[in-house]
Amino acid sequence: MYWEKDIETISRDNLAALQWEHLQQTLKQAAKSHYYGNLFKKTGLAPEDVRSLADLEKIPPTTKDDLREHWPYGFVATPKDDLVRMHSSSGTTGRATVIFHTAGDLNEWTNLLARCMYMSGMRRNDVFQNMMTYGLFTGGLGFHYGAERIGALVIPAGAGNSKRQIQLLQDFETTVIHIIPSYALHLSTVFEELKLDPRGTRIRIAYIGAEPHSEKMRQKIEDIYGFKAYNSYGLSEMNGPGVAFECPCQNGLHIWEDNFIVEIIDPATLKPVPDGEEGELVMTTLRREGMPILRYRTKDLTRIVPGECPCGRTHRRIERIKGRTDDMMILKGVNIFPIQIEKKLMGIPGVGKNFLIILDREGYNDHMTIKVEVERQFFDGDLKHLEGLRKRIVEELKSDILITPKVDLVTPESLPQSEGKAKRVIDNRKD
Amino acid sequence: MIASQLSIFAENKPGKLAEVTGILAGEKINIRATAISTSDTFGVIHLIVDDPERALAALTKAGVLVKIRRVLAVLLDDRPGGLDKLAQLLAREGININNAYGFVLENRVRAVFVVDVDDPEKAVKIIEKKGFKTLDTEALAAVEPFHYMKY
């Protein structure tokens, strides 16, 4: 039941010793990067000043903005020739965040995914269909290599194309899938269209991740398909998937503390909160050489599940993600910030001052509607010009946020003003 | 002559026309003709009124997005073939119609066809040369809608 029993069930004391050892290496490695080298100089801190795990707090947290501002190589700590892979988070407005990996980094990452999948019951005789986007997004390739490491047969199906997905499931008797929860629900309607029973497949395990979902949604997916669905958490800055994963107890996600130092902080005071209390997840990589990141503010809200897990693993568990400390939206597995939409809109002639993003769930499909004020001077009474503007907004946003929004043009000054703390997003999605 | 038409941006939902007519009623502005074109969630309300400048000021003050468009208001005979005569001419001259609507001035005698074209100055010369009469805003304000009185 364990991929690496020694590590997964390591005593807390030994885990702390292991973390300390790797933290020292990581700090030294990080100091080689432009960003941390400067940070240490600027703050007068040296890696040697961190004398214990508790001292880590002395280092200022790293944010997504820091990554963006030092794009693309500011965080790289090895010679560029040692890098073998890059991934980039979704969103192309301004600077996306890029994460680089050495061959050693990929090996560690792959091992974590193998550990996650093995934990929930995947074995070498399984057929694994990966219904995630391959490419810059980490969800596709991450799971792909993890499953190969276990020795399962991998079907690199990629995202979408529902009828072909179902055909593959049937033809190759898929037993394990990796899927975005909202897509799992949508796919069940395609089963119905084809007059097929979603419970009639050989699938016994599904990994669902890349977007936050409720316990109710998980149960719904399990009920529809009759398989076990395990929650997967990750973010590209911390490799991608494989950061935290549910064990068969399905009560919290074990976060791999041999690879990451985990802190939960109060996002306002940046002080740690005790286990059990909700706060922002902050993580430090312990095994990355290409691009170590110290105290990364994930902006994800969660809490540590107190107590021991009956599965025997000693790595602490985080609860499913409750929300964000920033305004990032997740739609169909794609991360979108309102600022991306704002930047794009404000570059289009004819767009007025304000806009409002509305997220809705219709059946099993999520939709984004953007209400956009028309600029007074743009309007000349010609419907054709309005329609042209609407189409241009849709096209420009589509190429940027990878999702096709519905765009409604509205009268100037009819939306809440964008100055101050205007609510830019209304999320009507429920479970 | 060239006439003024109010073109009003409106979201395509109940109550939007009432907002506009409410303001005009309050200003005692008379509406001669209306047309509405819609596209999914929004549309444009076109109005011919007796005092476009005053209507523009009142609507703008109320936050409505409104523009005055220069259109042709062509007098037609209100009998079979009346519109056809104009339509054939526009076709021959290659003048494209962006938007159009009509109303009767005097039953079975005269009607007005409002046409929105790309170059109204050029178009008005062409059709006036062929004997059509066009009305300007003042003329439109002055004409009495006799046909209402007959019913």
What pLDDT digit, counting tens, does each position of B44-72 carry?
A: 999 999 999 999 999 999 999 999 999 99
Those residues whose C-beta lies under 8 Å from the C-beta of residue A318, and which sit 6 or more positions away, are: A233, A244, A252, A253, A255, A262, A281, A302, A303, A304, A305
Say whether residue A382 is in contact with chain B using an 8 A CB cutoff: yes
Model confidence at A342, pLDDT cuts 50, 70, 90, reads confident
Give CA–CA dist A46/A37, Å, rounded.
9
As a whole-number percent, the residues of chain B with pLDDT over 70 amount to 94
pLDDT digits (tens, 9 = 90+) for A7-23: 999 999 999 999 999 99
How confident is the model over A106-126, as a mean pLDDT? 98
Return the pLDDT at B149.
41
pLDDT at A364 over 90: no
Confidence of residue A422 (pLDDT cuts 50, 70, 90): low
Determine the longest span between alpha carbons in chain B, in angstroms.
Answer: 44
CB distance B9–A379 less than 8 Å?
yes
Q: What is the pLDDT of residue A373?
A: 93
ipTM: 0.84
pLDDT at A331 over 90: no
Confidence of residue A56 (pLDDT cuts 50, 70, 90): very high
Query: What are the contacts of A211-218 at 24+ separation with CB within 8 A?
Result: A211/A180, A211/A181, A211/A182, A211/A330, A211/A331, A211/A332, A211/A333, A212/A320, A212/A321, A212/A322, A212/A323, A212/A330, A213/A181, A213/A182, A213/A320, A214/A320, A214/A431, A215/A320, A216/A431, A217/A181, A217/A185, A217/A431, A218/A181
Q: Quick check: B76 pLDDT over 80?
A: yes
Contacts of B64 in chain A (CB under 8 A): 411
Please say whether the beta carbons of B50 and B62 come within 8 A.
Answer: no
- Among chain A residues, CA nearest to B117: A382
CA–CA gap between residue A416 and residue A422 (Å, rounded): 6
Is residue A73 within 8 A of residue A64, CB to CB? The reply is: no
> Looking at the predicted structure, is the pLDDT value of residue A419 above 80?
no
Q: How confident is the model at residue B147, as a pLDDT? A: 44
Per the prediction, chain A carries an average pLDDT of 93
Give A418's pLDDT tier (boundaries 50, 70, 90). low
Going by pLDDT thresholds of 50, 70 and 90, the confidence category of residue A346 is confident
Determine what percent of chain A is predicted with pLDDT higher than 90.
77
* pLDDT score recorded for residue A328: 86
For residue range A194-248, list pLDDT tens digits in order.
999 999 999 999 999 988 888 988 998 999 999 999 999 999 999 999 999 999 9
Residues B39, A387: C-beta atoms closer than 8 Å: yes
| Average pLDDT for A71-87 | 97
The values of phi and psi at residue A353, to 5°, are: -80, -35
First to last CA, chain A: 32
Task: Please report how many Cα atoms fall inside a 13 Å half-sphere around the Cα of residue A361, on the Cβ side.
Answer: 16
Q: Within an 8 Å CB–CB cutoff, is residue A392 touching chain B?
A: no
- Residue-wise pLDDT for A286-317, tens only, equals 999 999 999 999 999 999 999 999 999 999 99
Sequence-distant (≥ 6) Cβ neighbours of residue A221 within 8 angstroms: A181, A184, A185, A206, A208, A229
Q: What local confidence, expressed as pLDDT, does residue B151 receive? A: 41
| Residues A412, B65: C-beta atoms closer than 8 Å | yes
- Report the predicted TM-score, pTM, of the whole model to 2 decimal places: 0.77
pLDDT at B40: 82
What integer best gives the mean pLDDT of chain B?
A: 90
Cβ atoms within 10 Å, residue A149: 19
* pLDDT at res. A93: 46
What whole-number percentage of chain A has pLDDT above 70?
97
Q: Which of A280-289, A319-328, B45-54 has the lowest mean pLDDT?
A: A319-328
- Dig out the tokens for A271 from the structure: 């002080």
A130: CB partners within 8 A, 6+ apart = A140, A143, A144, A147, A154, A155, A156, A157, A158, A177, A178
CA distance linking residue B99 with residue B97, whole number of Å:
6
Chain B nearest CA to A379, separation (Å): 7
Kind of pairing between the strands at B97-106 and B42-49:
unpaired
A420 at interface of B, judged by CB pairs closer than 8 A: no
Q: Is the pLDDT of residue A55 over 70?
A: yes
* Average pLDDT value for residue range A185-194: 92
Tell me the chain B residues in contact with residue A411 when contact means C-beta distances shorter than 8 Å. Answer: 9-11, 63-65
